[in-house]
Chain A
């Protein structure tokens, strides 16, 4: 469904993503891991259209995304969350979802919105002000809910679990698993926690300094000494 071919993103002299080739199948859950600054979020930004790749291709359902304007990518089925939750300020939770649904799918279906609210445990907060009246867990849930409201085929989740306490994390994990089945989406998830990744993902891709250094099942990847070295930040010693 999603295929990156030799994708590079450079900012001036810095190469944030370096000739990465990666694919995500239509019902696959792929983890994207790597140390801070490895280029994971930049890769997300390139796919969703917020940054422009310097070279390479991004294909989604065989359509060249580099020729597809940002706002049309949501309509095609690319949904994402932000690491730092970005609720649409000034709007209520429900209005956030209405905007996402109306512009992400082209139509408004109140029942589907209720369903998403219910699924993400936000029904009680629907009329609350998104920017000021939600706790972190709820903001993270809203990120997922906004993406779901656009009826995505591919869901890109940027550290949705980070910063949550253990219980919240477990609940959220359960939600993600259920979501994968219920909404029949492919998922590309950035996450640091190895246990979470192993538990959730069919495949793991590892980025280090912008380069893809491993791509395989969690078992294979996390046994690879080079991966573990980059991952634990171990020095040459």
Chain B
């Protein structure tokens, strides 16, 4: 897969420079990891929106299911954490199966239906207390293991794990978008009938995108639970796990691959490091205003804006 020089430099900096420079600052590292968790969901959410043409308010369900599946597998069967994380993703895909009937709905109807579905899982997690621990939740969920003497459960280790997960997501997203399926999905955007009459099974393609998106979100949820070692229904299925990523994705540009990640890191870090210290309560207001400004002045989000800028610089040079 083609990776530009800038891309390689950013990846190298992310793996080496960030831990070296910021690694000793636990607070900043924890903010970065948190922003990357939001970024992972944002990317998965944007994939569904960009390729599948669907706006979901139900991604907190995938996040929560992934977290519960992975936590329970490691706690009850002793499964290794990384294997359980993948199965957490699979669990989220299974959860998405019940959403298949609503794929035929369009626009706001789909969004509302999927929001309602998301609640079902929260109720299950609360009521099925013999397995999930009910509203008391699960304590001491296993942490990330040691790898060759390096403790992955620390801030730096966790950062490297989520970084790797996100890079894998980006690679998968790129591969899907460039495939024939990706082209057909792009075609479906504005011309669904025309695409269907040449033989594209649009419902199947949308379902596949839902699965991919659910899987990614489930893995991120699983990562989060092993990172914080604790889980309860209100937290796992909180609406914040979908609203923040939506803001991040739209801010960064949901039709680009990197936009949601850049948006999440930017929005989260700027909010926490700058606005929060300036306006301790109600700092989210500023974010809201920024988002509105972004939508008005650059509906495509931050990424197109940055690109336009660099193009202008190239032209001037």
Contact = CB atoms under 8 A, between A and B. Distances in A.
Interface of A: 48-50, 69-75, 79-80, 82, 86-91, 95-96, 98-100, 102-105, 108, 131, 146-147, 149-150
In this complex, the member of A50, A74, A99, A150 whose beta carbon has the largest number of chain B beta carbons within 10 angstroms is A99
B201 interface: yes
B153 interface: no
Contacts of B198: 74, 79, 99-100, 103-104, 146-147, 149-150
Nearest to A100: B198
22 contacts: A49-B197, A71-B199, A73-B197, A73-B199, A74-B198, A74-B199, A75-B199, A82-B193, A86-B194, A88-B187, A88-B191, A88-B195, A89-B187, A91-B183, A91-B187, A99-B187, A100-B198, A103-B180, A104-B198, A131-B190, A146-B194, A146-B198
Interface of B: 180, 183-184, 186-191, 193-202, 204
Looking at chain A's contact residues, the main secondary structure is helix
A71 B187 contact: no
A88 B186 CA distance: 8
B180 A82 contact: no
A79 B193 CA distance: 13
B187 A96 contact: yes
A103 B194 contact: no
B202 A71 contact: yes
A90 B189 contact: yes
Given A88-B187, A90-B187, A72 B197 contact: no
Nearest to A48: B197
B190 A90 contact: yes
A102 B180 contact: yes
Given A99-B180, A102-B180, A108-B180, A70 B196 contact: yes
Contacts of A149: 198
B199 A86 contact: no
Contacts of A100: 198-199
B199 A150 contact: yes
A165 to B, nearest CB: 25
B184 A69 contact: no
Nearest to A105: B199
Nearest to A150: B198
A24 B191 CA distance: 28
A146 B193 CA distance: 13
Return the 8 tightest CB-CB contacts between A and B, nearest first: A74-B199, A88-B187, A86-B194, A89-B190, A104-B199, A103-B199, A100-B198, A71-B201
Contacts of B183: 91, 95, 98-99
Nearest to A74: B199
Given A79-B197, A88-B187, A91-B187, 7 more contacts: A49-B196, A49-B197, A71-B202, A74-B197, A88-B186, A99-B198, A150-B199
